[in-house]
Amino acid sequence: MPRLKRLQRVQDLPGRLEQVFQFFQRPENLARITPPEQAFEILTPSPIAMQLGARIDYRLRVFGLWMRWTSEITAYEPPLGFVDVQVRGPYGYWHHRHAFEQISAEIVRMTDTVDYALPLWPLSELGGSQLVARQLARIFDYRREAVERLFAPRAFAGATAGS
């Protein structure tokens, strides 16, 4: 059985819980926080109603190869968070928990926890594990920077309305 790996990132954002959650619950905003080299594109027609059981289809480039990915929302607790799992995609297992907490009057703490396993275990453990871990770290580093730009006090109003 493949060993699960975990990536966790915590980021504090200016704003109110409902505003921050509104931005992250819109799958259409995912393209705004995904590195451009991944050429992320949602295939599910907009608007996408975020709710328990919703499925979102998209495609992106992973290590230069085009991949289709389908995620399903398996937990949905507005405005505290949601979980998406990979139904179809490049991983053997993918479980992503997005959690939000109002920690002060104007600061929301966002915690992303991704549990994942590579496909083709045990072969993938021979060399792909470190490569994938570094790629995921780069993706989430990019997201951190993009979110900081989008949630800057003057930019925040536009970030919630985004399309």
The model's pTM: 0.87
Phi, psi of 79 (to 5 degrees): -95, 20
More confident residue, 2 or 77: 77
155/5 Cα distance (integer angstroms): 34
120-147 in b/e form (b: 16+ CB < 10 A) is eeeebeeebbeebeeeeeebbebbeeeb
Residue spans per domain, the chain:
5-157
User: What fold, for 5-157?
Assistant: Alpha-D-Glucose-1,6-Bisphosphate; Chain A, domain 4 (3.30.530)
Encoded tokens for 81: 């968070």
pLDDT in tens, 24-80: 999 999 999 999 999 999 999 999 999 999 999 999 998 888 999 999 999 999 999
pLDDT over 70 (residue 143): yes
Q: Under a CB-based contact definition with an 8 Å cutoff, are residues 57 and 41 in contact?
A: no
pLDDT recorded at residue 157: 46
